[in-house]
Chain A
């Protein structure tokens, strides 16, 4: 065995350039694998975070009948006494805030926007005092200021502001139907523009103070939802059951972010399958490269192989010798690949890649906007390292087997 290892190592140095080129191909494949995996993991982590931070919160309390009617955003299917529930949750160490979500028509006035127009929108009325405890809009302000209580003001997403040509100080009119069906129009001054990392929110966001909405919509203190923040380490499903028990029925349902984002999670899972195929193809390309190199290496040494067989070296040992050589190439490629992967990953994790222009007008499902950062995944690096060695060894098996099928005199005559 010692001789076989020594022979394999020496053969690696026999064609240095070829060894390096093949190892380079493996290294590139593994680096791409680590890079793509890091980016996908980063996107998923950031997507989930942005989903919870800006869209669903960790969990949400809703009227039992609200979820199935959620697209109509009915104001009459509400939580009549949200403050009481929030206090109860607070007594149990749970942070929560109430919100009213309603749909309406946004009227744009030519005085501010240059021309008249209207569009359907969804407005979220928030408690300016408590909302930042649950959601993370605190760091997203791009222009102006945040909302204060009891003012006819609105904050909008920066992409939405760009789309409608809005600036600070512009007035918008929301026409909607209040609780009970009456028509109501509310004029709101844009006091702040936020750049929300969740593109779905940044594209559509209009927020106003909840007390003002309560008055316009005749909600009489009711809200359409109570959003809850749970610690990152918490088992969300367990907490949901715990909160549900605290509510004692009351015609209310607690939903985890996973239930609310079931569609997104299903799409993400499907995408993971698709990207698995891409990763497989990267490996396949590297495998073809190694296979070709090993094929050339073996067929160039057919006479040597014939000599070894003549002298009584068993086919098994010859196969081991060539596979050890291939494993050596795999080892060099894996070391280079993981090293390059770590370097590339460092930059992807620290600085990320700016896809802002691409994602601006495109919804790809993921809740990430502009800069996409990778994530460290040492398991993937370990898999890449061993897969590189294993794959190289495996692909050497077949050309060796083929060469060993030749009879010895033919091997010795081989030019």
Chain B
């Protein structure tokens, strides 16, 4: 489903070149619950960004669902992300002026979907992530775990085949982090959605059914469980 072939990414920091990825290759299958782990600066977020089509690679190739995303133009990448990818961020990145309902429905407003369907799907996904009755709360009135649930609902509402999560539990306490992981796992199993998340938390790695460890921009190990 996702083919990452010899991907390289170099950042220029002043006069210095930083090799974030030094030829990473991976094959990711539909429905995997995969964790990319490694110490800070190992290249996990960069790899996630490249798979998520929000960054530009300096070498190699990425294909998703047989589409060569690395060759896509900016506008094509935007359309591809809108239709195929879901994102979960470490800091939730919810829009503070919108309610939980509006934050989730926002994603559907980018697609041509009737208001009735938007309402039905949004209410259903909020119920599924355990936020029934909290639709009208703004992010400021929700706990960290609840905000991340809104973010998960936002990522899943358009039924994407791939969800990318950058350290989704890093800002949560361990109990809430566990709840979020279980929720993500449940969604992965129920919808057969591919989850790829970066982490350096041991507990999170334990949840993954595939663990890729990066070190200095290269794959150190790739273990399927």
| Residues of B with C-beta under 8 A to A11 | 97
| Residue in B45, B79, B93, B95 whose CB lies within 8 Å of A312 | B79
B107→A303 contact, CB < 8 A: no
Instruction: Evaluate whether A409 and B55 lie within 8 angstroms (CB atoms) in the complex, with A303-B93, A312-B78, A314-B78 already known.
Output: yes
Annotate B65-89 by CB proximity to A: 1 below 8 A, 0 otherwise: 0000000000100111111010101
How many A-B Cβ pairs are below 8 Å? 67
B55→A304 contact, CB < 8 A: no
Annotate A305-325 by CB proximity to B: 1 below 8 A, 0 otherwise: 011011111110100000000
Residues from 4 to 25 in A contacting B, C-beta threshold 8 Å: 6-7, 10-11, 13-14
Question: B104: shortest Cβ distance to chain A, in Å?
Answer: 11
| Residues of B with C-beta under 8 A to A7 | 95, 97-98, 106
| Residue in A13, A304, A309, A407 whose CB lies within 8 Å of B95 | A304
Q: How far is the CA of A314 from the CA of B83 in the complex (A)?
A: 12
Question: A415: shortest Cβ distance to chain B, in Å?
Answer: 10
Main secondary structure of the interface of A (DSSP, over half): helix
Q: Which residue of B lies closest to A411 (CB)?
A: B54
A: interface residue count bin: 20 to 34
Question: B107: shortest Cβ distance to chain A, in Å?
Answer: 6
A14→B109 contact, CB < 8 A: no
B109→A3 contact, CB < 8 A: yes
B: interface residue count bin: 20 to 34
Q: Which residue of A lies closest to B93 (CB)?
A: A307
Judge whether B91 is part of the interface by a CB distance below 8 angstroms. yes
Judge whether A408 is part of the interface by a CB distance below 8 angstroms. yes
- Can you identify 21 A-B contacts, CB atoms within 8 angstroms? A6-B102, A7-B97, A7-B98, A303-B91, A303-B93, A306-B93, A307-B87, A310-B81, A311-B82, A312-B78, A312-B80, A312-B81, A312-B83, A312-B107, A313-B82, A313-B110, A314-B78, A315-B78, A317-B110, A407-B55, A409-B46
Interfacial residues, chain B to chain A (CB-CB below 8 A): 45-46, 49, 52, 54-56, 75, 78-83, 85, 87, 89, 91, 93, 95-98, 102, 105-107, 109-110, 154
